[in-house]
A = this chain, B = another copy of it.
């Protein structure tokens, strides 16, 4: 296929796969698309290992890395950390009320609580990685590998990231949820825009893919645009290209693949979920992120809640708790199973069987070809 994206990266099929799982990244790259490893959950040491593994498994084929770099942190975090990665200052900024609410949830759902001190410390380490300082370390590790793309998922890419990528000759991709943000990202140095509709999993805005993609394409032309949000099939990729995109950026669809890191209890929920079973909630990170609706989101967004904190403080509150909930859910604990969830887009309704990632790519290729045939038959050109 011939799109700006295929030519730029030398790939056959204009599909970028965002995943935290190295196996998915390598499988998609090897199947003719391009995998992008989500690095935010990793320490610099662990990221180094993961990238080395990918290098060993893709035989020089292209892959990328995504680092979550918030343009501006929540005010309370700014106050607490002065923009710096100080776990203690962050911990001190979290009201007791939120820890009490969290403890109450474990009690109410009859789930053994995690060691609170450990959870706090683990959460604080996670929180520091979404500061600019934390992200910079991950960028440095990434650029020491033969990556072909570096992406930033939140806000304008900081000058340091753009400079480092430029010196290394690596294009920078930026995820946006509005045309105005796309304009700003290009001005800040983004070489590629991922226009992500509100139906997407994870941090997302409210404008749908159908509307956002043509808006962004018109705004940033000739900068290439990838469509994201809701896309899990080849006909949706065809739709994205019809809208003017140069390819698609898919994240959710990999979560129910054989390789995925998704915990079994959550994977089961995803396979059973319909497109109605997601919610845009601040309850995991402090910023609106689409995820499976579960007792966790219901409780945090419900009337008895103190309300989620901002980013990264809510990450600190939720991270250790969610790890524990996931672990306990595997043993069949019904309360933990009710609480467990994960980021996923509305296309979870289209994800109904477990397949190898390679198979997902092949099915998308096939479905894409059929959609194109259908369009040509309709218009009398086929």
Interface size class of A (residues with CB under 8 A): 35 or more
A58 to B275, CA, bound (A): 40
Q: Is A208's CB under 8 angstroms from B179's CB?
A: no
Q: Is A371's CB under 8 angstroms from B275's CB?
A: no
Inside 8 A of A236's CB, which chain B residues have their CB? 210, 214, 242-243
Q: For residue A244, give the distance in angstroms from its CB to the closest CB of chain B.
A: 6
Q: For residue A357, give the distance in angstroms from its CB to the closest CB of chain B.
A: 20
A99 to B338, CA, bound (A): 42
Q: Is A378's CB under 8 angstroms from B275's CB?
A: no
Query: C-beta contact mask, A295-306 vs B, less than 8 Å → 1, else 0?
Result: 000000000000
A380 to B369, CA, bound (A): 11
Q: Is A240's CB under 8 angstroms from B239's CB?
A: yes
Q: Is B381's CB under 8 angstroms from A350's CB?
A: no
Inside 8 A of A374's CB, which chain B residues have their CB? 241-242, 244
Known contacts A211-B346, A371-B242; A179 and B275 CB within 8 A of each other: yes
Q: Which of B3, B14, B235, B276 contacts A242 (CB 8 A)?
A: B235
Inside 8 A of A231's CB, which chain B residues have their CB? 210
Known contacts A206-B276, A376-B381, A378-B3; A211 and B239 CB within 8 A of each other: no
Asked if A286 CB lies within 8 Å of chain B CBs, one says no
A349 to B346, CA, bound (A): 23
